[in-house]
């Protein structure tokens, strides 16, 4: 949060940033002195989105920044500035054209992010001074986003199942939550067979981590996150290109951990259960084989059609366990299918839900907080695409049609009809640098879902 600071009343030391666009540039110029207008003319500043101009007073001191923006995109408006403007403290001028200054400040903070675990930051970001109430609102969102990014960006050697569990443990310690963990063969003894089957071939033991927080009398909220810390594909081995970024296959777990942090930071009146099944899908002599049949925690028998459809296997035991608590709402996050990316591209998480009103609320919240999602249907006739000739159903099938939907339908079988449920199939990654969205791990759908939780339980 170092890129945002509280603006003190009467503070005149920070430098004003005035946002403008082509339609308002003439009015902006009229507020400037003659030398500043000449400077804009000489430099060709046209208020194009992403451009900026530094304006000095007669003594040469920087006193104002003009930032060209798209007024419809407040989140991206200032996101490129923290690491391009001179290192100083700035504030948003009242004359700006942005409709949502709070989103602009959030974009500034997200644009200041740098993953510095393995190398020094390029530079210290410039700071933006905001009102105390805005800082209080934005700080948890920025921290949660940075947590997702940090967890996803960390290579598997330093972010295996144990380290992912440690992240949950640190969170529990911060908020005085209760932690429980099943490791290795303890998973079999406790009836989590699919989590064990996926992770048993790794030299690092699979585990399920449970964090519990809140009053037992409050409505129950279960959050589940797919924690595949690296995915080789198992015996159905991925190609080199397909395996290159599989450190990010625990992105669902990162989102779930960050959402739990937001819930506890906001002290929402819920009985929270966070469930993180954490594994590596590795190759060894004891690896799960195609064609095996596993009896899941819920009692369904599942034929392993493809060992690279492992995420839904670890999630199904966690969802079944979460459902046993009879929550008012259960949410899972997962980097689950390439099909969702083919359908929606890298920026739009696929949203599934078993309640229309709830799913509509999430989509609407995504628009409101600039964290978009797109709903896909739980089209029940496609269940036949997971038919098995010797088990209740399979984890995948021969058809390449509707891959995101069939994965969601698989998970739905483990959620009782009387439990409200949301499933987010998210990419959790930026393929290239953009303002406010640096290359690497990314939170997608996090703010939208948290906004709905605030509406429902706040």
Selecting among 37, 169, 238, 413, the annotated active-site residue is 238
Q: Are the beta carbons of 256 and 174 closer than 8 angstroms?
A: no
| Beta-carbon-side half-sphere exposure of residue 311 (alpha carbons within 13 Å) | 31
Which residues lie below 8 Å from residue 310, measured CB to CB, with a gap of 6+? 198, 228, 231, 234, 279, 281, 288
A 10 A CB-CB count for 148 gives: 26
Burial class (CB in 10 A: 0-12, 13-18, 19+), 410: buried
Backbone angles phi, psi at 211, to 5 degrees: -115, 135
Selecting among 127, 220, 248, 312, the annotated active-site residue is 312
Rounded CA-CA distance 281/160 in Å is 11
Q: Which helix (H) or strand (E) holds 142?
A: helix 132-153
Rounded CA-CA distance 183/268 in Å is 30
Backbone angles phi, psi at 63, to 5 degrees: -125, -15
Q: Could you tell me how many residues make up the chain?
A: 458
Query: Active-site residue 122, yes or no?
Result: no
Rounded CA-CA distance 75/101 in Å is 9
One-character DSSP codes across 439-453: SEE---SHHHHHHHH
Q: How many degrees, rounded to 5, is the angle at CA 296 between CA 279 and CA 286?
A: 50
DSSP label at 40? H
Rounded CA-CA distance 25/45 in Å is 9
Query: Active-site residue 226, yes or no?
Result: no
CA 81 vs. chain centroid, Å, equals 23
| Active-site residue list | 238, 312
């Amino acid at each position: 949060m170092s890129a945002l600071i509280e603006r003190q009343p009467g503070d005149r030391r920070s430098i004003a940033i005035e946002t403008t666009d082509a339609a308002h540039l003439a009015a902006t110029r009229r507020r400037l002195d003659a030398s500043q207008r000449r400077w804009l003319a000489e430099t060709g500043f046209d208020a194009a989105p992403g451009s900026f101009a530094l304006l000095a007073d007669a003594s040469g001191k920087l006193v104002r920044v003009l930032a060209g923006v798209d007024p419809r995109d407040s989140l991206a408006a200032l996101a490129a500035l923290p690491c391009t403007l001179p290192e100083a403290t700035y504030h948003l001028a009242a004359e700006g054209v942005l409709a949502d200054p709070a989103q602009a400040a959030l974009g500034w903070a997200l644009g200041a992010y740098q993953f510095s675990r393995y190398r020094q930051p390029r530079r210290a970001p410039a700071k933006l001074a905001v009102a105390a109430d805005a800082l209080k609102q934005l700080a948890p969102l920025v921290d949660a986003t940075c947590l997702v990014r940090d967890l996803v960006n960390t290579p598997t050697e330093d972010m295996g199942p144990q380290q992912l569990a440690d992240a949950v443990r640190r969170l529990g310690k911060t908020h005085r939550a209760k932690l429980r963990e099943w490791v290795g063969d303890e998973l079999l003894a406790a009836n989590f067979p699919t989590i064990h089957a996926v992770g048993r071939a790794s030299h690092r033991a699979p585990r399920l981590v449970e964090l519990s927080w809140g009053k037992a009398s409050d409505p129950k909220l279960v959050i589940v996150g797919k924690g595949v810390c690296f995915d080789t594909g198992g015996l159905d081995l991925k190609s080199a290109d397909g395996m290159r970024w599989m450190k990010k296959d625990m992105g669902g777990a990162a989102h779930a951990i960050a959402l739990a942090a937001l819930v506890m930071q906001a002290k929402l009146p819920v009985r929270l259960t966070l469930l993180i099944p954490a594994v590596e899908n590795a190759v060894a002599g004891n690896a799960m084989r195609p064609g095996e049949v596993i009896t899941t925690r819920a009692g369904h028998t599942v034929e392993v059609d493809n060992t690279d459809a492992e995420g839904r296997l670890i999630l199904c035991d966690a969802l079944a366990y979460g459902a046993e608590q009879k929550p008012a709402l259960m949410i899972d996050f997962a980097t689950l299918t390439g099909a969702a990316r083919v359908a929606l591209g890298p920026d739009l998480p696929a949203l599934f839900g078993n309640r229309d009103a709830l799913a509509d609320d999430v989509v609407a919240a995504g628009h409101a907080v600039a964290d978009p999602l797109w709903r896909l249907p739980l089209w029940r006739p496609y269940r036949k695409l997971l038919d098995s000739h010797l088990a209740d159903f399979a984890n995948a099938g021969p058809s390449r049609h509707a891959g995101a939907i069939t994965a969601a339908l698989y998970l739905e079988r483990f959620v009782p009809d009387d439990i409200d449920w949301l499933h987010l199939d998210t990419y959790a990654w930026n393929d290239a640098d953009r303002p406010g969205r640096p290359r690497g791990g990314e939170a997608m759908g996090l703010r939208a879902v948290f906004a709905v939780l605030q509406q429902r339980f706040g």
